[in-house]
Copies of this chain bind each other. A is one copy, B any other.
């Protein structure tokens, strides 16, 4: 490891940089630590920025957690804002710095250098961009600027371009702040960390909350206060927020000849050292290693950034690093819904071309005992490897505690847990919190049935084709439930009658079963199987799942619904 560093320079003073600096201080009282930030703030809450737009966080100054003075008084860290590192002189181990206020240029030597430059919002060279008031959201200044532009004028119409985390959170908070909001997403879905089937629930939440959500359409150009889409739609925009994505800020690293990875982010080794062992890099600017895809990947998340920063600091002081890579766990609140995801999605498996055999189940049980006044359905999708049952990922969306379920799965994935482990997981229970057999336990039981071929299933995404091709579908709910809305042409044979009406069920073609949330159809299906029926399929997600899956595309396109009436409860 060599000698312990006597002087460390940290480039970037937000999550990764500030954490590295503080950790270094705890490892050494004598080390000189200089933290250089080109912007006006160190240590602000990146992830909280959108909440200023709704007024949930009223004063944008509150977004700043610590001032440079605090870093000195509490950590003896020399934090300098408006100081941009312009060049790294690796041979002589020094950096060239420009004071952006005075224009003065100066140098600092280093024993070790930590790069935490973050990433920059992508702003494509749209035609006519100068004709609109456009904004990006990356720091406190950005969000304060947008907020005062909106509050200082009569501007009401905001168009957000890009349906990722930032775009969606900005949308929600602008809407809650009272603006007319349009979200434009080029692909068929927002939030591509979720699968297409799950994300329909979020799409619905958007339109339920009066956000003008446009998917599958691209910005062609801008006119004066107008966004013109490729579909030739035109949307009035007092302000435009561009939230298409970010690109790692690698300028300094590239200029210094440090190795850049295939993802165009800084390449680091196990210890978070760049190709120069005296230079560490952490946070949004680096490549992380995803242990489920076995690929290097960019992952702009705060949790991993903090761990990387701590590890880099540890390593330069001779401690070994426990780099376990990442699996990708994230969460988002969207109006009344919470959504969380961990591990692999079907999207990710396809995009990464992974040679994985997998299957998935979708269930919609209550998140707590149904008698509790705030019990709500939770949409839960579990993805597992076939034939091992190893759990690969999960997604959960609902009004209640979805993050808890995802964190359980994230923990399980870290230990290569299987459906059998999850089935036996002993979780804390009382009626205000969950059910005696929690959502995740139920998902495991259903997954095991699929894994063990106890029955066959089809997914909600396949139901439209089934209906349109005239498949034989049995709705096993009671008659009154059926009459409140059902699949077109579905036959109603309630579970309570099915054993007496088996003669009505064809044996020469596949039969598909569903109820409200697949519990009764599962019972119906096992009974029919025992009675000799062999060509049965359970519709995973059942009627509630189908309604959520179909709704957004039904109401935003001209296609004909496959249900007589939606039922979301």
Residues of B within 8 A of A103 (CB): none
Q: Does A428 contact B (CB under 8 A)?
A: yes
Bound-state CA distance A326–B29 (Å) is 46
Residue of B with least CB distance to A52 = B371
CA distance A330 to B432 in the complex (A): 12
Mark interface residues in A319-339 (1 if CB within 8 Å of B CB, else 0): 000101011111111000010
Complex CA–CA separation, A47 to B497 (angstroms): 31
Judge whether A359 is part of the interface by a CB distance below 8 angstroms: no
Q: Is the CB of A410 within 8 A of B431?
A: no
* Chain A residues proximal to chain B, CB less than 8 Å: 15, 22, 25-26, 28-30, 45, 47-48, 51, 56-57, 62-63, 73-76, 165, 169, 301-307, 322, 324, 326-333, 338, 340-342, 369, 371-373, 401, 403-404, 406-408, 410-412, 414-415, 417, 420-421, 423-434, 436-438, 441, 495-497, 499, 520, 522-523, 526-527, 530-531
* B-chain residues with CB within 8 Å of residue A26 when the two chains form the complex: 522-523, 526
Q: Give CA–CA (A369, B432) in the complex, Å.
A: 24
Closest chain B residue, CB of each to CB of A299 = B426
Known: A28-B530, A411-B408, A421-B414. A15 touches B48 (CB 8 A): no
Tell me whether A410 and B429 are in contact (CB under 8 A).
Answer: no
> Is the beta-carbon distance between B403 and A425 smaller than 8 angstroms?
no
Residues of B within 8 A of A526 (CB): 25-26, 29
Q: Is the CB of B371 within 8 A of A429?
A: no
CB distance from A197 to the nearest CB of B (A): 19
A530 touches B29 (CB 8 A): yes
**In contact, A371 and B330 (Cβ under 8 angstroms):** no
Establish whether residues B406 and A407, one from each chain, have CB atoms under 8 Å apart when the complex forms: no
Considering the chains assembled together, what is the distance between the CA atoms of A64 and B130 in angstroms? 65
Residues A48 and B429 in contact, CB atoms below 8 Å apart? no
Could you list some 27 contacts between A and B, CB below 8 A? A26-B522, A26-B523, A29-B526, A29-B530, A47-B430, A48-B372, A51-B431, A56-B373, A73-B495, A73-B496, A74-B495, A74-B496, A74-B523, A76-B499, A165-B430, A303-B426, A305-B436, A330-B428, A331-B429, A333-B433, A340-B428, A401-B401, A406-B428, A408-B411, A410-B425, A415-B415, A415-B417
Interface centre among A57, A324, A371, A531 (most CB of B within 10 A): A371
User: Cα distance A289–B453 when bound, in Å?
Assistant: 31
Number of copies: 2
A327 contacts which chain B residues (CB < 8 A)? 426
Q: Is the CB of B404 within 8 A of A331?
A: no
Choice from B324, B424, B431 contacting A324 with Cβ under 8 Å = B424
Residues of chain B within 8 A (CB-CB) of A56 are 372-373
Contacts of A75 in B (CB 8 A): 523
- On whether the beta carbons of B433 and A331 are closer than 8 Å, the reply is yes
A183 to B430 CA separation, bound complex (whole angstroms): 21
Give the residues in chain B near A410, CB-CB below 8 Å.
425-428
With A51-B371, A426-B414, A530-B30 known as contacts, the answer to whether A433 contacts B338 (CB < 8 A) is yes
Tell me the smallest distance from the CB of A252 to a CB of chain B, in Å.
Answer: 24
A424 proximity list for chain B (CB < 8 A): 307, 322, 324, 414
The answer to whether B433 and A45 touch across the interface, beta carbons within 8 angstroms, is: no
Q: Kindly state the separation between the CA atoms of A62 and B369 in the bound complex, as whole angstroms.
A: 12
| Contact between chains at A429 and B330 (CB < 8 Å) | yes
- Contacts of A433 on B, CB cut-off 8 Å? 331, 333, 338, 340, 403
Given A62-B371, A74-B523, A436-B302, A429 and B329 contact (CB-CB distance below 8 Å):
yes
- Give the shortest distance, in Å, between A120 (CB) and chain B (any CB): 21
Q: Which residues of B contact A328 (CB under 8 A)?
A: 426
Closest to A427 in B: B407
Known: A29-B527, A408-B408. A432 touches B333 (CB 8 A): yes
**Within 8 Å CB of A302, what residues of B?**
429, 436
Residue ID in chain B nearest A396 by CB atoms: B428
> In the complex, which residues of chain B have a beta carbon less than 8 angstroms from the beta carbon of A51?
371-372, 431
Interface pair A430/B15, CB less than 8 Å apart: no
Q: Contact between A326 and B426 (Cβ–Cβ < 8 Å)?
A: yes
Residues of the B chain whose Cβ atoms lie less than 8 Å from the Cβ of A307 = 424
Contact A425 B411 (CB under 8 A): yes
Residues in chain B near residue A306, CB distance under 8 A: 436-437
Which residues on the B side are within 8 Å of A530 (C-beta)?
Answer: 28-30
Contact of A408 among B22, B74, B407 (CB under 8 A): B407
- Write the chain B residue with the least CB distance to A528: B29
Chain B residues, CB < 8 A from A497: 73
Taken together as a complex, chains A and B put the C-alpha atoms of A306 and B427 apart, in Å, by 13
Contact B430 A333 (CB under 8 A): yes
Q: In the complex, what's the smallest C-beta–C-beta distance from A404 to chain B, in angstroms?
A: 3
The answer on a CB contact under 8 Å between B30 and A436 is: no
Chain B residue nearest to A434 (CB atoms) is B403
A430: which B residues are within 8 A, CB to CB? 47, 165, 169, 330-333
